[in-house]
Structure 1
Amino acid sequence: MTDIPSGFTRLESTSPFHELVGPFYEKRDRATLIIGMPVAKKHINRRGAVHGGMICTLVDFAMGQAASTMTTPPRKVVTTSLSADFAGNATDGDWIEAHVDVLRSGRRVVFVNCFVYHRGERIARGSGTFLVLTPGE
């Protein structure tokens, strides 16, 4: 079992998919959002490292949380594009976290970047664009 670092609180599951791949934890202040997760056996690929698809899921979830909740008032958003690059790995029992930066938040589009860290080292980077939903969308 991975120890959850100080300052992180468990997020409620937002969908059956997040229930399947989670749990996720967050640490935030006014300007910063970090989403972390313990890597479990279910996240590991056949080479023994966290699956790239799981890292993409963490990146998408973290950036979506930031695009939605780092504005006042919070807004509903959907991912319109996502890019990820991998530079390292983690394995079962490790803790990884996505540090998110909202580059620009407009009326209809939000641009977000993040880095995924394991033991203080960057193992992935991501960028995404999110569409702000209007009532009825």
Structure 2
Amino acid sequence: MTISPPEELSGWQTWGAEEPFEDMAGPFFFRKTADGYVSAFKVERKHLNGGGAIHGGMLMTFADYSLFTIAYDELQNGGGVTIALNGEFTAAGPASGIIYASGEVVRETGSMVFVRGVITPDDPNADTVLLNFSGIVRKLKKRD
């Protein structure tokens, strides 16, 4: 099943393979920029908590997805699995708009990639940060 991005994210891409949980939770999209990879999703009612803000679990799910987009180049030889994910909530997420995640690879070893990033509303360079996150992805070897 191919998922098309909303109009606001025209030209963005998905993994290209079915990701049942991420497709249901998001869907999430990403693209490469001059500063690295950026992830995004359009806020829908299903992403909100009872208080009308983006649910914290949704932001952590998006952070987990974003670990892999930020480390996209480092994971090209087989992908990976999350072995650690940490987050600090710093603001409530809006009930509409586009949410972005950007970050950097802090360190790479033979078997792991260490990543940190931020989730922001409406602009990948926004001053408002909804969530600071960091994590470790264990590299998997490509299957033949």
- Which TM-score applies when normalising by structure 2? 0.81
Superimposed CA distance per residue, residues 37-66 of structure 1 (whole angstroms, 9 cap, x where no aligned partner): 111000000111000000001110011223
List alignment gaps of at least 5 residues for structure 2.
1-5
Partner of 1:77: 80
Residue 26 (structure 2) pairs with residue 22 (structure 1): yes
- Which TM-score applies when normalising by structure 1? 0.85
After TM superposition, the structure 1 stretch with the greater mean CA deviation from structure 2, 112-121 or 10-19, is: 10-19
Is contact 1:31-1:70 (8 Å) kept?
Answer: no
Superimposed CA distance per residue, residues 68-93 of structure 1 (whole angstroms, 9 cap, x where no aligned partner): x2237443110000001101122332
Aligned residues: 133
Partner of 1:103: 106
Is contact 1:13-1:19 (8 Å) kept?
Answer: no
Q: Which has the higher strand share?
A: 1
Q: What one-letter code is carried by the residue in structure 1 that aligns with 2:97?
A: D
Is contact 1:83-1:127 (8 Å) kept?
Answer: yes
Q: What one-letter code is carried by the residue in structure 2 that aligns with 1:75?
A: G
Superimposed CA distance per residue, residues 88-114 of structure 1 (whole angstroms, 9 cap, x where no aligned partner): 122332211001211111110110001
Q: What one-letter code is carried by the residue in structure 1 that aligns with 2:52?
A: G
Identical pairs, percent: 25
Is contact 1:10-1:23 (8 Å) kept?
Answer: no
Deviant stretches of 4+, over 4 Å: none
